[in-house]
């Protein structure tokens, strides 16, 4: 009979295998606020791996809103929403998000991971179908697993395969069909083909759900995300407060009134998990006010992204094509990504190597992410560091 000692030995062996495969992720401690420049181990670094696209993570207006809300509304809620955890601020944020993003209403969660975990199970049953892009975020995959609907998958943005799955789901007798996709695929920076997806959904009587975590605040007029950028209506939209909107935490689902109302009755992470604290909610309201009007920041972000992409490509790095501020530098094996991250760290540039299981084996990369608040001079310094580190590790000649 296996005992606790065997179990701990099993965990240690698993860890040793992760280490032997070069897949161990190590956390470096930042001593200070998130930003275009950070402090790591007492030293300054240029930071190229935060989801802090508009540079709002340390913005004075957000900090002020959070502090004021703590004074007027307290620190914590100590309740889920339906017992005694709903303040005026929560409803204001839900309605503000919905108005901004063009939906009837929205519902808040502790994270977008929870929002995606909450969405599918209450809305769809065994007689329904979900068709999911193969590159969707882990939280969509997990959310679909929690739901009894039949599951179908199509290769990333393969519209012919999506249509085949729609036909298949109909032939299997599906009542409702929901297509689920990221708006921006987070490892690659590719945008979903929303107009084509919408047209296919309409042709086959399906609904469209988009997770716009890497687009809200960044893409489209007023930063309203991929549906606004690409001119496509979507039925359900999920997103995060943890990226461009100040980077703290929180997630939401926006959509038609009866769907949001039903989720409020049935979504398990909503019913059984604590309400967001007032400071976060108030700062998110301030963030939306800033972001909606921030065409200047979005223009700066696009300009810097173009400069950064061109510089890396001219240095000889292999990039994935695109225009999103996610700029992945493709390096092949995990060890190369780790060696590059380490060589860049020694040169004062903070990046993270991404490798299995976050991306497929053999497609390790450094995912750089542009930020409207990074100085042009720092971008030049970082390009010099990439060239030197690339030559040192053999990633470029």
Ligand X SMILES: *Cc1c(COP(=O)(O)O)cnc(C)c1O
**Residues with active-site annotation:** 186, 214, 243
Task: List the one residue from 182, 188, 235, 345 that touches ligand X (CB under 6 A).
Answer: 182
Residue 242 interacts with ligand X (CB under 6 A): yes or no: yes
Residue 270 interacts with ligand X (CB under 6 A): yes or no: no
186 is in an annotated binding site: yes
User: Minimum CB separation from ligand X for residue 113, in Å?
Assistant: 3
Residue 214 interacts with ligand X (CB under 6 A): yes or no: yes
Task: List the one residue from 113, 190, 308, 386 that touches ligand X (CB under 6 A).
Answer: 113
Task: List the one residue from 106, 181, 226, 240 that touches ligand X (CB under 6 A).
Answer: 240
Residue 213 interacts with ligand X (CB under 6 A): yes or no: yes
324 is in an annotated binding site: no
Distance of alpha carbon 326 from alpha carbon 367, whole angstroms: 7
Subset of residues 183 to 202 that bind ligand X, contact rule: CB under 6 A? 186
Give the interface segment with ligand X, choosing from 21-29, 86-94, 208-216, 228-236 (CB under 6 A): 208-216
Site string for ligand X, 128-147 (x = CB under 6 A): ---------x-x--------
Nearer to ligand X, 217 or 390 (CB): 217
User: Minimum CB separation from ligand X for residue 353, in Å?
Assistant: 18
Task: With CA atoms as reference, report the closest residue to 46 among 386, 306, 378, 387.
Answer: 378
Dihedral sign (CA 296, 308, 191, 373): negative
Nearer to ligand X, 137 or 298 (CB): 137
Binding residues: 112-113, 137, 186, 240-243, 273-274, 367
Binding residues for substrate: 137, 367
Binding residues for pyridoxal 5'-phosphate: 112-113, 186, 240-243, 273-274
The residues of the shown chain that bind ligand X, judged by CB under 6 A, are 111-113, 116, 137, 139, 182, 186, 211, 213-214, 240, 242, 251
């Amino acid at each position: 009979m296996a005992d606790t000692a065997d179990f701990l030995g099993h965990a240690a062996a698993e860890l040793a295998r992760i280490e032997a495969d070069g897949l161990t992720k190590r956390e470096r401690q930042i001593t200070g606020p998130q930003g275009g420049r950070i402090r790591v181990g007492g030293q300054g670094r240029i930071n190229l791996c935060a989801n802090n696209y508009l540079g709002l993570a340390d913005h004075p207006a957000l900090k002020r809103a959070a502090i004021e809300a703590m004074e007027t509304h307290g620190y914590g809620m100590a309740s889920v929403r339906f017992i005694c955890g709903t303040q005026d601020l929560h409803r204001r944020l839900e309605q503000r998000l919905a108005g901004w993003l063009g939906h009837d209403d929205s519902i808040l969660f502790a994270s977008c991971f929870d929002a995606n975990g909450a969405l599918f199970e209450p809305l769809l049953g065994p007689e329904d179908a979900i068709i999911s892009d193969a590159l969707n975020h882990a939280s969509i995959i997990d959310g679909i697993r929690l739901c009894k609907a039949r599951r179908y998958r199509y290769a990333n943005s393969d519209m012919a395969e999506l249509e085949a799955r729609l036909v298949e789901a109909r032939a299997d007798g599906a009542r409702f069909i929901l297509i689920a996709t990221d708006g921006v695929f987070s490892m690659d920076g590719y945008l979903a083909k929303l107009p084509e997806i919408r047209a296919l959904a309409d042709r086959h009587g399906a609904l469209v759900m988009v997770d716009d975590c890497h687009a809200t605040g960044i893409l489209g007029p007023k930063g309203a995300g991929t549906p606004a950028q690409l001119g496509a209506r979507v039925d359900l939209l999920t997103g995060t407060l943890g990226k461009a909107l100040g980077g703290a935490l929180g997630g939401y689902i926006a959509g038609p009134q009866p769907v949001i109302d039903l989720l409020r009755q049935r979504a398990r992470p909503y019913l059984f998990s604590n309400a967001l604290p007032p400071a976060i909610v108030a700062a998110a309201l301030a963030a939306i006010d800033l972001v909606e009007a921030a065409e200047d920041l979005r223009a700066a972000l696009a300009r810097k992204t173009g400069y950064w992409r061109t510089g890396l490509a001219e240095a000889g790095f292999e990039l994935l094509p695109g225009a999103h501020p996610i700029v992945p530098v493709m390096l092949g094996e995990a060890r190369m990504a780790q060696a590059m991250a380490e060589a860049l760290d020694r040169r004062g540039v903070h990046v993270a190597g991404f490798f299995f299981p976050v991306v497929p084996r053999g497609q390790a990369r450094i995912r750089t992410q542009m930020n409207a608040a990074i100085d042009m001079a720092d971008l030049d310094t970082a390009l010099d560091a990439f060239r030197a580190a690339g030559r040192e590790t053999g990633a470029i000649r």
